[in-house]
Structure 1
């Protein structure tokens, strides 16, 4: 699974073949075919693995966040790292491929919905946000949408300095919105 995700992140959907993944994983083609007889089966299993890995990565990084002043910026920076790293790049490859592949689409959509719910829930928790207050749920979702968009902007060029400045500014607005009410 790690070899499949790494291949997706480095070589994209078209460069991720069962032969290349077996070679990268150091297993025989026969062993790979025994467990995953088709590229679709291999990638579907990788999609599931990828989802679990993304959720585990979020939880691991969340445990190291500071408390008090600067927490919002730290939460946003953590999320931005998730949306600019290799797991996100692999996920993007799957999203693009799933757009035109019904079998892959059927596997990717529920997984991405689950990851989206978990990301939202965790962001609410990390920010100490009260979603019973008007506008808070929307502010959290806007934050995740903003960060995902910044992750896309980072694909072709290093957008780090602009992203950090934008997120610092957004953190101030978000803190105000979360405290208002």
Structure 2
């Protein structure tokens, strides 16, 4: 028996996802400069008009990639969604989860776009509205995993994200000696800070 034909809406959603996957892969393989509309079109195997129907400009496509990273690709958010009813995650596990996320492909792709946006006004305009959304979404997801029983939790989450992000960026071109010691030292500091009540 023949499988039922997909609706136009389902076909359109599948094409959009294929385009986002292609753009994401282009970013990882060659960076922002190599992620042209033409390269994405070829990689996705669609006509140029099809790509432009979904994303009229390169900046719109790149903004959609960021939204896709938030929705589908950030492991820390996937864990946060599936563990809503679970107990709090230990601070050590949270540090490990964030550190792992920072070294993964989604962060690398997002970083490519944020750096490019500094000197690309169109891309900057497209990404600025998403900046607060991605920061807020990640912060909320990690805070949910940490639990809400400690008044310092939101600040400790922010400290953790900022410290680990800075440590990762400092060694992005070449691994720095001592970074793992910094991560372990922060775990110990967190244990002390989380045990205290203001």
TM-score, normalised relative to structure 1: 0.81
Contact kept? 2:87, 2:147, Cα under 8 Å: no
Question: Residue 3 and residue 158 in structure 1: after superposition, are their counterparts in 2 closer, same or farther (change >3 A)?
Answer: farther
Residue 172 (str. 1) matches residue 191 (str. 2): no
Question: Residue 89 and residue 177 in structure 1: after superposition, are their counterparts in 2 closer, same or farther (change >3 A)?
Answer: same
Q: 2:11 corresponds to which residue? A: none
Q: How many residue pairs align between the two structures?
A: 175
Which residue of 48, 55, 60 corresponds with 2:78?
Answer: 60
Matches within 5 A, 1:95-134: 95-128=114-147, 130=149, 132-133=151-152
Matches within 5 A, 1:1-181: 1-55=20-74, 57-62=75-80, 63=82, 71-128=90-147, 130=149, 132-133=151-152, 136-158=153-175, 162-181=178-197
Q: 1:59 deviation in Å?
A: 2.7
Larger-gyration structure (1/2)? 2
- CA RMSD in angstroms, aligned pairs only: 2.7
Query: Structure 1 regions of 5+ residues with no counterpart?
Result: none
Per-residue CA deviations over 1:96-116 (Å, capped at 9, x if unaligned) read 121122332233223121121
Query: Structure 2 regions of 5+ residues with no counterpart?
Result: 1-19
Per-residue CA deviations over 1:104-136 (Å, capped at 9, x if unaligned) read 223322312112112222222222354635xx5
Per-residue CA deviations over 1:49-73 (Å, capped at 9, x if unaligned) read 2232345x22324557x978x9322
Distance in 2 of aligned mates of 1:67 and 1:172? 21
Question: Residue 113 and residue 174 in structure 1: after superposition, are their counterparts in 2 closer, same or farther (change >3 A)?
Answer: same
Q: 1:150 deviation in Å?
A: 2.4
Q: 1:153 deviation in Å?
A: 3.2
TM-score, normalised relative to structure 2: 0.75
